[in-house]
Structure 1
Amino acid sequence: MAQRRVVVVRAVARGAGDVLLTSGLLVVLFAVYVLWWSNVASDRAADRAAGRLRDSWLVAAPPAESPVPVAGLDRGDLGFLHVPALGRDFQVLIRPGTDDETLADGVAGAYTVPYRSVPPWEGEGNFALAAHRDGHGAKFHDLDRVGPGDAVVVETRDRWYVYRVDGVLPETSPDDVGVIAPVPTGSPYRAPGRYITLTTCTPAYTSLYRLVVWGSLVREEAMAPGRVPPAELR
């Protein structure tokens, strides 16, 4: 009887060990997907879309002194975001929307709700963008490296828009929608202007809070022949 009990206990232990091993393997595979494969897939999708946008800019490109309308938030990719503090060659495609499907393509999504982002070519307003910090391209993984005085540049078909970072909110609730308002709550700004807001999850590998970076437009430049970038990107 005792021997039979030992056999049963061993069988149960072996089964429990198999379950734990399988569960652990599934966790590892999920982590690999989130932290590696989703980045690969999203980067590929973003690179293809970026190539299509740049190719479209080469078709009957207008002279720099004759700007053309840029796609609105209701259609098309808008341009590129450059943040020198995140790397000399850092760029991310800007696309309308911040839903899961949009951000999964490895882009920076322009908020359309609860406040509509106002792109710089439309004048006064807040151009609020979001991107993943981990997985799906992880474009804003190092956003915590961006601080006051750093440059943020938006590139369109015919112009460069250069912003200076004025403030950072290291942590706030995901429900704090005021940070993307036309005059962002908690920012250094007290009156309407031409602002940019970058948001992502924090701490890294979680979605508990949001990290927010605010900047204001300091100048815009017409696109020179050869798409020569502004000094901040050289």
Structure 2
Amino acid sequence: MAQGRVVKVVAGGVGDALVTFGLLVVLLAVYSLWWSNVVSDREADRAAGRLRDSWSAAVPAAPPTPAAESPAPVAGLDRGALGFLHVPAMGRDNQVLIRPGTDDGTLAEGVAGMYTTPYGSVPPWEGAGNFALAAHRDGHGAKFHDLDRVGPGDALVVETRDRWYVYRVDGVLPETSPDDVGVIAPVPVGSPYHEPGRYITLTTCTPAYTSLYRLVVWGSLVREEAMAPGRVPPAELR
């Protein structure tokens, strides 16, 4: 009997310890995700402010030129920041700073990173090609957390110092392998496209709170607009 009581006490203690450990792990995960969002959002907001300040201080843009000759945006003070991505389907005031690179350090800054490997992304001001971007789904700003809300017909808008580039979403791949690099090819594999064009690709992890697969959104350029005085946005953002 005494031995049985000892076994019950030990088992109960082990069970309580496991429950406590599990709760601590959950709390740590929640805290880590929340705090990484706070830190990344602060840094991204500061970087966005620096970029906009550099645009304001820059020499006024030249008159609009044909798409193939559109000037590259002024990177200014923010380590090569390229501009901003706006996705109205993810929120009326949605804005994500764009930087080159998709390494852990870049994406942890709460930005959308432009793929540089295995294919070289082509920003819209450089003409035909695929402008492929990635951002975190959860943690580190979670800039693409609501990417699953985006569907065919939705607008994607890229803002630079001098121009707006307006894309229309043409296709979505809900789930694919993280190793499926074809989705960011110049003519994305699995997309509705079959010949070179001016495309944009957005990728993030899925399902939420995991990195098992990738969610992919594809769009094509429908028009570009010269930046009007006062930086009046295109109709899709009003």
Q: For residue 116 of structure 1, what is the aligned residue in structure 2?
A: 120
Q: For residue 55 of structure 1, what is the aligned residue in structure 2?
A: 53
CA contact (8 A) 1:34 1:136 kept: no
Q: For residue 30 of structure 1, what is the aligned residue in structure 2?
A: 28
SS of alignment partner, residue 231 of structure 2: coil
Map 1:1-234 → 2, pairs under 5 A: 2-3=1-2, 5=3, 8-9=6-7, 12-13=10-11, 15-63=13-61, 65=63, 68-70=71-73, 76-234=80-238
| C-alpha distance in 1 between matches for 2:190 and 2:196 | 14
| C-alpha distance in 1 between matches for 2:22 and 2:59 | 54
SS of alignment partner, residue 163 of structure 1: strand
SS of alignment partner, residue 226 of structure 1: helix
CA contact (8 A) 2:169 2:220 kept: yes
| C-alpha distance in 1 between matches for 2:62 and 2:84 | 18
CA contact (8 A) 1:133 1:200 kept: yes
Q: CA offset at residue 113 of structure 1?
A: 0.8
| C-alpha distance in 1 between matches for 2:71 and 2:171 | 32
| C-alpha distance in 2 between matches for 1:98 and 1:112 | 8
| C-alpha distance in 2 between matches for 1:114 and 1:230 | 33
Q: For residue 67 of structure 2, what is the aligned residue in structure 1?
A: none
| C-alpha distance in 2 between matches for 1:220 and 1:65 | 14
SS of alignment partner, residue 29 of structure 1: helix
- Between 1:38-47 and 1:181-190, the stretch displaced more is 38-47
Query: CA 1:213 to 1:150, structure 2 compared with 1: closer, same or farther past 3 Å?
Result: same
| C-alpha distance in 1 between matches for 2:127 and 2:17 | 59
SS of alignment partner, residue 178 of structure 2: coil
CA contact (8 A) 1:95 1:108 kept: yes
CA contact (8 A) 1:80 1:156 kept: yes
Could you give the per-residue CA deviations for residues 166-213 of structure 1, whole angstroms, max 9, x where no partner exists? Answer: 111111111110000000001111111110000111111211111111
Aligned pair count reads 230
| C-alpha distance in 1 between matches for 2:126 and 2:198 | 10
Q: CA offset at residue 13 of structure 1?
A: 3.3
- Between 1:153-162 and 1:57-66, the stretch displaced more is 57-66
Q: CA offset at residue 142 of structure 1?
A: 1.1
CA contact (8 A) 2:71 2:125 kept: no
State the TM-score, normalized to the length of structure 1: 0.91
| C-alpha distance in 2 between matches for 1:7 and 1:166 | 66
Q: CA offset at residue 152 of structure 1?
A: 0.4
**Percent of paired sites with the same residue:** 82
| C-alpha distance in 1 between matches for 2:205 and 2:184 | 14
Q: Could you list the runs of 5+ residues in structure 1 that have no partner in the other structure?
A: none
Q: CA offset at residue 68 of structure 1?
A: 4.7
Query: CA 1:185 to 1:129, structure 2 compared with 1: closer, same or farther past 3 Å?
Result: same
> What residue identity is the alignment partner of 2:38?
V
Q: CA offset at residue 64 of structure 1?
A: 5.2
State the TM-score, normalized to the length of structure 2: 0.90
